[in-house]
Each structure stands twice: as C-alpha cells, then as structure tokens.
Amino acid sequence: MAIRKTEAFVIKTVPLRSSSLIVTLFSREFGKIKGVAKGVRKEREMRGAFFELFTHADIVFYEKTRSDLHLISDAAIIDSFDVLRTRLNTIVYASYFAELTDVLTEIQDPHAEIFELLEVSFRYLPALPGEKIARLFEIKLLNEVGLLPHLDSCLQCRAAVPERGFFSVSQGGILCAACSRGLGDAKPLSPEALRQLRFYASSSLEDSLKKPFSAAPEQELMKILESFLLYRLSGPLKSRQFMNAIRESVTL
C-alpha cells in the first residue's frame, strides 16, 4: 500500500458500521477518490469535522491496489467552508455542485480543473447569485468531462448558427432552423441565451463570473441544461429535486 497525500474536497459521506465513514473526495492530484475514515463518528467533536461536506483538506491515505476504497489515515483542514453550511441557499447549491461532480466523474481520473472549479464555486457562492454559479459550474464541468453540448455550428448540416438557434437535448447541441424542423425535442433558443451559453463555454471562469447576470437568458439556460443533464444521467439528482421543490417557497 502506497501512502498518498493530496488536497481534496469532501463531496459525499456515507456511514459505515457504527463509527466509520465512507468519504468521497475530489482531489487535486488523483481526481475522485473514495476512502474509509475509521472511528470518526464516535469522536465527532475531534475528527468528524474533517469530513463535513464541502470541507477542503489535506488528506493522507493508504492506496489499496486491489480496491477503489482506500484507507484515510489523516486529514488537516485547509478551509472548512463553514459559511456554506449556515444558509439554506448555499447548502442547496454546494450540495448540487458536489453531487454533480460525483455523478459526472470517474474514480481516479485526474482533473485539476474540476478541483479548481469546486474551489472557486465554493468561494464565490456566498457572494454571487447561486443560479449564475450553477450554470457556470454545469458548463465548465461538462466541458471538462467531454460532454459539453455542441455549440459552434448546426450539428447536422454544419451551417453557421449566428443568432437564432435551436437546442436539441437528444442530439446534444445546436441546430439551424431548417434542421430543427423534423426534430420533436428541438427548442428555440433566444439570441441572448445562445450568446451567454457560448460566452460561458469559451471564457475563463473568472471572466464569466465578472459578466453581469441577466435573469431571462439565465432562466432559459437553466431549463436547457437541466433537461440535457437529465437526459445524460441515469436519474434526477437528489440535490436538484430538493432545489426545485423548495424554489416555490424560498428565494434561492
């Protein structure tokens, strides 16, 4: 068993027997890893805090060669991100980012950009609209795992789609007006939403965060990306269902 050390975010925890946890982490060097943290639930005051959701920590683990489940031997908190756990809206969005990362990534497939995406998103979440960060998170994560919808030209005839495009969830991208006609699921996309989508896909995270947030195209993008993800994933995400359920009574 090799000893490994990495910076990581806690994205999921599941109780194991009476006192241990199975912790899913997204690490800078190794991508998503899973490990057992023994004895942490009995000593929750002392060590359990290392494994609260969203915590950014330096982790030491023994890498098992015959299993994906390693043994976490030590953790030192870099940033507990307590601030995310104190308000409903930040809990909801941070949980969504963690769950989306978990379902869209493979075990031990390194993506330092996804680690940085989590770091930046968690840092800005208390200060910026959650929906804006959510769109950026979805687009940047899809791009990183190779699932970003095709946005440059019409998927079928390759004609340029300068302004008015149609988005097909089943085809995974943009279509021109002519090619969209035969497709039941091709939905019109406003020029603003298409521009926004392309800007988010092609700009850095920092530049995208600085761009002013306008509600109408964001709303369109939210619906399109939600149905795109639903089509790609095996089922709806729990955090997303919860978000939608409370949206009617709470402003997120």
Binding region for Zn ion (CB under 5 A): 154, 156-157, 159, 176, 179
**Identity of the residue, 3 or 159, whose beta carbon is nearer to Zn ion in the bound complex:** 159
- Among the listed residues 83, 30, 27, the one whose alpha carbon sits nearest the alpha carbon of residue 52: 83
Closer residue to Zn ion in complex, CB, 150/195? 150
Tokens 């402003």 map to which residue?
Answer: 251
* Minimum distance of Zn ion from residue 178's CB (angstroms): 5
Q: Is 158 left (phi over 0), alpha (psi -120 to 50) or beta?
A: left
Nearer Cβ to Zn ion (159/245)? 159
Query: Of the two residues 176 and 221, which places its CB atom closer to Zn ion in the complex?
Result: 176
Smallest separation (angstroms) from Zn ion to the CB of 193: 19
The residue written with tokens 């896909």 in the block is 201
Q: Per the structure block, which two tokens stand in for 202?
A: 């092609």
CB of 154 to Zn ion, least distance (A): 3
Distant-in-sequence contacts of 111-114, Cβ < 8 A, 24+ apart: 111/31, 111/144, 111/145, 112/28, 112/29, 113/140, 113/144, 114/26, 114/31, 114/141, 114/144, 114/145
